[in-house]
Structure 1
Amino acid sequence: MTAPIIDPDLEDAIEALRFTERRLRDVEQHLLEAAPEKYQFRMQMIHERADLREQIKIRADKLNLDPRALALIIREADKVRSKQRGRQTVPLGKLLTVISTVAEYARIERAEAHAEMLVAQERAGAATHRSVGLAKAVEYLEASRG
């Protein structure tokens, strides 16, 4: 049998915020699908999203966690709990495996994005060098006209 999460504050946060996190996902899905002409509806969803995120942030600050990390822990703990047919305790080992995997994917994504940024910076530098050089060539040719 795997050990449950030992931190009672984290267990409490998972339990207290599971419906908040689920509603946050629902709201974000509605925003993704909302028609632009439904401005009033979108504004309500945007405000509700901010309120839900703030609830998670307050608890995350108390736990010294990033709010997105806490939301992910809550989401994954809820999935694990569902697979256990609603048992209240969430095995730390399962949760740790899932979060570690997601963290590794995020690390890889960050490395890829950083590499892409460096390539873009290099291209921007080359384009700047070309642009400055060609601007000087235009100035030179203009001055040569007499």
Structure 2
Amino acid sequence: MRVSLFAILLALSACASDGKAGNDPMLAVKQLNTSADAYSQRHVKVSGYLHTTRCLYSSKSVFDKFKADTKNPKNYDPSKYKGESLTLLGGSEALSRSIGKGVTVEGIFKKDYLDGNTLDMGACGKNAIVIDDK
């Protein structure tokens, strides 16, 4: 059986992920929150809709629905939005140019950032990402 050197190198590179920046798979906000235990304290890459420099939502449509529901308390059910947002820590200056757009951020994922002992008036989800300085 003949196997080319290219095929061997390709197979090896696919197995060589070391979990550092650059090798992380792209995650969605909800996917990251749903699998919080698996990603806690790990470097992650996540995409979503940037509402403020501190809040990343799953999508613009999720944010728009959330905003509309909170204006009408009869329709508001917070459980519908569980896991749909992340708090962003750091990177505010760079992110300020992308408010209202889809973005990708990278950093260390902090499961249960809002643990009952932390007061953060700008937080928008119990989990957070400490954004990489770039």
Scaled by the length of structure 2, the TM-score of the pair is: 0.30
Scaled by the length of structure 1, the TM-score of the pair is: 0.28
Higher helix share: 1
